[in-house]
Structure 1
Amino acid sequence: MSSLIQWYPGHIAKAEKALLEQLKRVDVVIEVRDARIPFSSQHPKIKTWIADKSHVLVFNRVDMISESVRSQWVQWHRKRNQMVYFTDAQAGKGIKELLKAAQVAGVKINERRKTRGMLPRPVRAVVIGFPNVGKSAVINRLLNRRAAESSNRPGVTRQLRWIRISDQIELLDTPGILPPVLHDQDAALKLAICDDIGEAAYDNTLVAAATIDLLIKLQAPLSDRYGIDPLNPPLESGLDYIMTLAETDRFKGDSERVARQILHDYRKGRLGAIALELPSLD
């Protein structure tokens, strides 16, 4: 891709400053990533933010990856002595296990408080993740009610606020927080493909073309969906595929419409459950 992808809405800098203040009060960090791109949707500062706190790692949108890919991630994290929780927050899947994990962390915290002669208190957890990875949907499921505004647009949550789940847990809802500069443009591209950053950050046609290039490598069933096989005759690039598809009767020369359709189809799982990142199991 020739154009840089950068997106840093004004509220994010303010939100990050507020988060750093609130982190002093937090016991447990619930980190939400996009299951399709777990590496690319990891904030580079997360290890600093976790420090000595309990860490609960969540891969949301598990419905958009295959069982095989899920198993690979479980194996990869097991080798690193880490548990990963898989959720489909829209459907409420995996939420009970996640809530239990946060409660277990809280028990350990209160055991430590007891040994110091302190009274027990609700565990304070923060939910952190990039924009649009499903943090608010996860929170709403944990609460079993709509408390956090949830949308499929990045950047809906703007302010930090504490929400009580029960007598045992308080949750801090945070806006999606991005680094000020996206140095890793390969990761930025995947965030754009998965709709995890704002549309103003990128050119739809270039991102859709890169999506096609990735999907060809992953052997996605493009010809089943669009009626054109990118390998027969072989097309030089994803952009060629878009331009070829635009010339069909369905799109009547509108390459921008083709680009939007491709991105929409991938994001809605209409091309299948396709992960864009896999762990190395060496």
Structure 2
Amino acid sequence: MSSPPIQWYPGHIAKAERQLKEQLKRVDVVLEVRDSRIPLASHHPQLKQWIADKPRAIVLNRMDMIPQDLQQEWRNWFKEKSQTSYFTNAKQGKGIKAVKIAAQKAGTAMNQRRRDRGMRPRPVRAVVIGFPNVGKSALINRLVGKNVVVSERRAGVTRQLQWVRISPEIELLDAPGVIPWRIENQQDAVKLAICEDIGQAAYDNQLIAAAMVDLFSKLGFDDVLEARFHLNPANITGEAYIHDLAEQSYKGDKERVARQLLRDFRTGVMGAIPLELPL
């Protein structure tokens, strides 16, 4: 079963990207939100080009969906690359304080430069950037301390840019999820689809669920699927696994199997399972 390339670039994202590039001129610090399950695949390849030398903090959201020891491995990995990373669970409010402090520190440095030039201090302007559905809006609501932006577990909910005042010291720009107009790395695109960080119109559930089973086997998580569905995927393809599981437990309904597999992974029913490990 061959899959057409996964590409998803709806009109509202194209418009938001243009507006975002304009607003970035006013921004002091960038909070790049990624998915902890796929910290590399959920990085926008053009971000560095957009933000140039602006300070950036990498926020790895959904920390509850990967093992704790792996969180430390990723911290070390980013540190070796001179990048600052923060793990958060925006849904439960974990790790938020450290992100807020990081933004305030950037503001302190910015205002010192303003004072040195004889200018008055002002609130630090931060922008929250990331792929759709990685938890940007939930993070902003936690930083503000109340629900000021719409937050849902699906891609494409935020449709327009808006500035939100967090405190007298910080203003935040909430932007719709940005995604490359063309995803060159299709392995990354598959991971984004598995994690629901790309619109559902971009992919076929059965193909993506089969790719997920293959990836589980590659990463050594066969036992997770066997415990959940009483069928071991060892030595068969993901496509064959979906077929066999459909015949065994779902009256031959492969689409239902695919949706169940993806739902169980996405909602954490299968446990804390990463799809990427530090290189």
TM-score grouping bracket, smaller chain normalisation: over 0.9
Task: Give, as a single letter, the amino acid of the residue that structure 2 aligns with 1:243.
Answer: H
**Helix, strand or coil: the match of 1:93?**
coil
Report what 1:228 is aligned to: 231
Report what 2:68 is aligned to: 67
Q: Distance in 2 between matches of 1:206 and 1:217?
A: 17
Q: Distance in 2 between matches of 1:65 and 1:239?
A: 25
What residue ranges of structure 2 are gaps of 5+ in the alignment? none
Report deviation, 1:222.
Answer: 1.0
Report deviation, 1:48.
Answer: 1.3
Report what 1:91 is aligned to: 92
What residue ranges of structure 1 are gaps of 5+ in the alignment? none
Report what 2:9 is aligned to: 8
**Helix, strand or coil: the match of 2:167?**
coil
Report deviation, 1:101.
Answer: 0.6
Q: Distance in 1 between matches of 2:124 and 2:53?
A: 15
Task: Give, as a single letter, the amino acid of the residue that structure 2 aligns with 1:162.
Answer: W
Q: Distance in 2 between matches of 1:212 and 1:79?
A: 32
Q: Distance in 1 between matches of 2:78 and 2:43?
A: 14
Q: Distance in 2 between matches of 1:256 and 1:146?
A: 36
Task: Give, as a single letter, the amino acid of the residue that structure 2 aligns with 1:257.
Answer: R
Q: Distance in 1 between matches of 2:276 and 2:226?
A: 22
TM-score (norm 1): 0.96
Q: Distance in 2 between matches of 1:67 and 1:49?
A: 32
Report what 1:107 is aligned to: 108
**Helix, strand or coil: the match of 2:7?**
coil
Report what 1:245 is aligned to: 245
Report what 1:180 is aligned to: 181
After superposition, the C-alpha distances for 1:238-263 in whole angstroms (9 at most, x for unaligned) are: 01000000012x31111000000000
Report what 2:134 is aligned to: 133
Determine if contact 2:128/2:136 at 8 Å carries over to the other structure: yes
Task: Give, as a single letter, the amino acid of the residue that structure 1 aligns with 2:192.
Answer: L
Task: Give, as a single letter, the amino acid of the residue that structure 2 aligns with 1:47.
Answer: K
Determine if contact 2:104/2:170 at 8 Å carries over to the other structure: yes
Report deviation, 1:52.
Answer: 2.0
Report what 1:36 is aligned to: 37
150-159 or 48-57, which moves further after superposition? 48-57
Task: Give, as a single letter, the amino acid of the residue that structure 2 aligns with 1:245.
Answer: L
- After the TM superposition, list the runs of 4 or more consecutive aligned residues in structure 1 that deviate by more than 3 angstroms: none
Q: Distance in 1 between matches of 2:245 and 2:274?
A: 24
Number of residue pairs aligned between Structure 1 and Structure 2 = 276
After superposition, the C-alpha distances for 1:58-104 in whole angstroms (9 at most, x for unaligned) are: 00001001112111111111112222000000010000111011001
Q: Distance in 1 between matches of 2:226 and 2:82?
A: 41
69-78 or 133-142, which moves further after superposition? 69-78
Q: Distance in 2 between matches of 1:160 and 1:229?
A: 46
Determine if contact 2:57/2:83 at 8 Å carries over to the other structure: no
237-246 or 43-52, which moves further after superposition? 43-52
Q: Distance in 2 between matches of 1:50 and 1:24?
A: 9
2:120 maps to 1:119: yes
